[in-house]
Amino acid sequence: MYVKHHRRAATLIVAVMTATIALTHGLKLLIDRDRPMWQNDLGLLDTRAFPSGHASQTTAIAGLCLVLAVMLVRRSNIRRLIGLGLTVVVLVVFLDRVLLGRHYWTDVVGGGLLGAGLVLLGVALYSPLPRSHALKSLPLPQALPSTNDLAVVLNPIKVEDVAQFQAIVNQIALESGWKEPRWYFTTIEDSGTGQAEQASVDGADLVVVCGGDGTVREVCAELAGTGIPVGIVPAGTGNLLARNLGIPLFIRAAIDIAINGQDRAIDMVKVTGDGLEDTHFMVMAGMGFDAAIMEGVNEDIKRRVGWLAYVLSALKALMFPTMRLEVSVDGGPFSKHRARTCVVGNVGSLQGGMNLIPDAAIDDGHVDVVLLYPRRFLSWIPLVVRVLSRREKRAGESVARFTGRTVVVRASHEVPRQLDGDIIGPGHELHMECIHGRLLVRVPR
């Protein structure tokens, strides 16, 4: 938790566990209760019995894990599953100590109450929630006069409780000196473009968008070039733009950064192609295997298990047919290639910290292209290892890379295509142009 910048949570964990161990041993010495007479001979104990150290420490650890799950896990079904698993672990430890004869039942109950009580006391005295940027950092200078008008574009299906989300945003905004925000909700017909346009017309000094990569892309594309910064609260499954900008996935911390972070100018990529209206992407475009993954995701499974749905879809699409591609960079001649997937990235990292395009930067004025061509099913494993370890020289013709401001990719036949995880329909080609520093986004200081 400390490494992940949840330092208050790390402090709470250390404090609660230290207090649990100390109080458990102190009470053992004070009460001086003997072990039961029916102890199992294996590993016989002669130390004091009340309260059970196993029970107190296991309960405290389980309680802290539950606190972290409530903080960091967004899906209620996953939180319930974690809570059930922690409860089972605690009960198994309780039964283990009693059935082995190490403790009376009152010892384990006493230990459990001690551990749970210290967790509750710790949370009451010291909040594990990260402190706001507005409290720990000096105010940022403003280049232009601001009326502190805040707008929020929200995809309501991406948050469990809309009213609770609004309450959190309102609280942080008012505490940070902003006016109470105006709210704009996306619809099936309009996933963010119209709402972002209306927010700018209404005079917003800052637009916060909460949704998946698709909603974020629509809002960013509409506000690009306006000078209005965009604060991103990631609430989707991939959240690749937020991950590459260092924005935390913990909603309260993301809201704080969206309102109180510093502005950073980043690139956008303009996209055209056959059967495609002019559009943009922020993260990655793809043709072939990666687009087939997005196309094959089961939405019901995605709602239940999140990003694991993409893993299942990837396994089904591993042997996507070979594509014959032509690639032109910065107006140069076309080169011919064979590949199963073509990824054009404005950023480099995927989920789980996998750095598919190590040299990609979101503010360097260039896009990076990667072509992967595993010849057989089992060739994926060494190929992925070589790509992620940047040992492409041993990959032979299996990997090709290009970098430039403009890129054109043509396929010999129609193939699946995607922009920022959204399927845009099959086609033969994509024309991409990087527009340097087009958008202001809020990032951690």
Cis status, amide bond into 51, omega within 30 of 0: yes
Instruction: Lowest mean pLDDT of 180-194, 200-214, 290-304, name the range.
Output: 290-304
Instruction: Give pTM, 2 decimals.
Output: 0.73
Report pLDDT for 98.
87
Question: Mean of the pLDDT values across residues 134-158?
Answer: 73
Report pLDDT for 115.
94
Report pLDDT for 41.
63
- pLDDT category at 199 given cuts 50, 70, 90 is very high
What architecture does CATH give domain 273-436?
Sandwich (2.60)
Question: Mean of the pLDDT values across residues 294-320?
Answer: 68
- pLDDT category at 194 given cuts 50, 70, 90 is very high
Within 10 angstroms of residue 6's Cβ, the number of other Cβ atoms is 21
Is the pLDDT higher at 307 or at 371?
Answer: 371
CB 128 within 8 A of CB 12: yes
Residue 10 has pLDDT above 70, yes or no: yes
Residue 282 has pLDDT above 50, yes or no: yes
Report pLDDT for 270.
92
Q: How many angstroms separate the CA atoms of 400 and 369, rounded? A: 8
Residue 394 has pLDDT above 60, yes or no: no
pLDDT tens track for 402-441: 889 999 999 988 998 988 878 888 899 999 999 998 899 9
Tell me the CB-side half-sphere exposure of residue 343, using CA atoms within 13 A.
22
Question: Mean of the pLDDT values across residues 144-170?
Answer: 86
Residue 391 has pLDDT above 60, yes or no: no
Tokens representing 226 are: 């306006």
Report pLDDT for 184.
94
DSSP string, 90-152: HHHHHHHHHHTTSS-HHHHHHHHHHHHHHHHHHHHHS--SPPPHHHHSPPPP-SS-----EEE
Residue 273 has pLDDT above 60, yes or no: yes
Instruction: Lowest mean pLDDT of 84-98, 308-322, 404-418, name the range.
Output: 308-322
pLDDT tens track for 238-268: 788 888 888 887 888 889 899 988 889 999 9
Residue % of the chain over a pLDDT of 70: 84
* CATH number for the segment(s) 136-260: 3.40.50.10330
Residue % of the chain over a pLDDT of 90: 32
**Domain residues of the chain, as ranges?**
7-125, 136-260, 273-436
Is the pLDDT higher at 397 or at 295?
Answer: 295
Residue 59 has pLDDT above 90, yes or no: yes
Is the pLDDT higher at 142 or at 216?
Answer: 216
Report for 99-103, 189-193, 408-412: range of highest mean pLDDT:
408-412
Report for 134-143, 188-197, 281-290, 370-379: range of highest mean pLDDT:
188-197
- pLDDT category at 376 given cuts 50, 70, 90 is low
Instruction: Lowest mean pLDDT of 17-21, 44-48, 133-137, 335-339, name the range.
Output: 133-137
Report pLDDT for 84.
94
Mean pLDDT, the chain, rounded, equals 84
Within 10 angstroms of residue 340's Cβ, the number of other Cβ atoms is 24
Report pLDDT for 399.
77
Instruction: Lowest mean pLDDT of 193-207, 248-262, 308-322, 377-391, name the range.
Output: 377-391
Report pLDDT for 147.
73
Closest CA to 165 of 258, 34, 245: 258
Residue 393 has pLDDT above 90, yes or no: no
Residue 8 has pLDDT above 70, yes or no: yes
Q: How many angstroms separate the CA atoms of 165 and 324, rounded? A: 47
Secondary structure of residue 329 in the 3-state scheme: strand
Question: Mean of the pLDDT values across residues 230-238?
Answer: 86
Report pLDDT for 49.
80
Report pLDDT for 406.
93
Report pLDDT for 383.
66
